[in-house]
C-alpha cells in the first residue's frame, strides 16, 4: 500500500512538473529575443565564445528532443528551437551548449555520467525482468532480487549524477546569455525560469528513482527476515 502511495504521489508530481514546463516553454516561445537570433545562432555563438569550433549544431526531429552528443560532438536542437528566435529557444540552445563546454573542460560529473552510460544502458534493458523474477523467487532464490536491486541502484546513481550536470549546464547558459547580451533585463528572468522548470524534472526523476529503490530494498530485507 505504501509503495502505491509513493508511486502515485511521484507520478502526480512528475505530471505537474511536466505540465508546468510545457506551459512555460510554450509561453516563452512566443517572446522574441531583442536581437532576433535563432536557436542555431545562439548555439554557434556560445560555442565560439568558449573557443569550441569542432562541435556542430544540427537540427533534430521532435519536440524537446534537444541534447548534446559527446560521441560525435554535436549539439542537437529540435526544429522548434533550431529555427526559433524566442527566449525559450535561446535558453535551450545555450543549455545544450553548456554540456559541450563541460565536455571541453572535462567537467568531472559529466565524465562520471558518461562512464556510467554503458552500465545504465545494460541495466535498463534487463533490470525490471530480473526484479520481477526475483520477487517471485524471493523465498527460494533471494540473490536474484538482490542482483535486480544492484542493477536498479546503478540507474538511481545515474539520476543523481545527472542533477549537477544539468544544473551546471543551466548556470553556464544563464551567465553567458547575460554576458553576451543575448538576453536583457526584460527577457533574462524568463530564460532563467524556463531552465529552472526543466531542472525540476530531473529532481523529481531522481527522487522517484530513490524511493523505488528503497521500496525494493525493503521487500528484500522484509522477505529475508
Q: What are the catalytic residues?
A: 96
Per-residue DSSP letter, 32: B
Query: Using CA atoms, how far apart are residues 113 and 99, in angstroms rounded to an integer?
Result: 12
Query: Is residue 58 helix, strand or coil?
Result: strand
Q: Give the ranges where 29-141 is alpha helix by DSSP (H).
A: 39-49, 79-82, 87-104, 108-136
Taking the C-alpha atoms of residue 147 and residue 153, their distance in angstroms, rounded to an integer, is 10
Q: Is 36 helix (H, G, I), strand (E, B) or coil?
A: coil
**Burial of residue 127, with CB atoms counted within 10 A of its CB: 0-12 exposed, 13-18 middle, 19 or more buried:** buried
Amino acid at each position: 500500500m505504501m509503495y502505491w502511495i509513493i508511486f502515485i504521489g511521484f507520478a502526480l508530481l512528475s505530471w505537474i512538473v511536466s505540465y508546468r514546463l510545457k506551459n512555460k516553454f510554450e509561453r516563452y516561445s512566443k517572446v522574441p529575443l531583442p536581437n532576433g537570433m535563432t536557436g542555431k545562432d545562439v548555439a554557434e555563438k556560445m560555442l565560439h565564445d568558449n573557443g569550441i569550433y569542432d562541435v556542430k549544431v544540427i537540427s533534430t526531429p521532435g519536440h524537446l528532443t534537444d541534447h548534446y552528443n559527446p560521441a560525435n560532438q554535436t549539439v542537437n536542437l529540435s526544429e522548434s528551437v533550431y529555427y526559433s528566435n524566442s527566449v525559450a529557444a535561446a535558453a535551450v540552445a545555450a543549455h545544450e551548449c553548456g554540456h559541450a563546454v563541460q565536455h571541453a573542460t572535462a567537467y568531472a560529473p559529466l565524465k562520471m555520467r558518461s562512464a556510467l552510460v554503458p552500465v545504465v544502458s545494460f541495466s535498463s534493458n534487463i533490470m525490471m525482468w530480473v526484479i520481477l523474477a526475483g520477487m517471485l523467487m524471493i523465498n527460494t532464490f533471494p540473490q536474484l532480487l538482490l542482483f535486480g536491486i544492484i542493477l536498479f541502484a546503478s540507474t538511481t546513481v545515474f539520476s543523481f549524477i545527472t542533477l549537477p550536470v544539468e544544473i551546471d549546464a543551466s548556470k553556464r547558459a544563464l551567465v553567458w546569455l547575460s554576458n553576451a547580451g543575448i538576453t536583457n533585463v526584460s527577457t533574462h528572468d524568463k530564460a532563467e525560469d524556463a531552465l529552472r522548470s526543466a531542472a525540476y524534472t530531473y529532481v523529481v526523476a531522481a527522487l522517484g528513482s530513490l524511493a523505488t529503490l528503497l521500496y525494493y530494498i525493503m521487500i528484500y530485507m522484509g522477505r529475508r527476515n
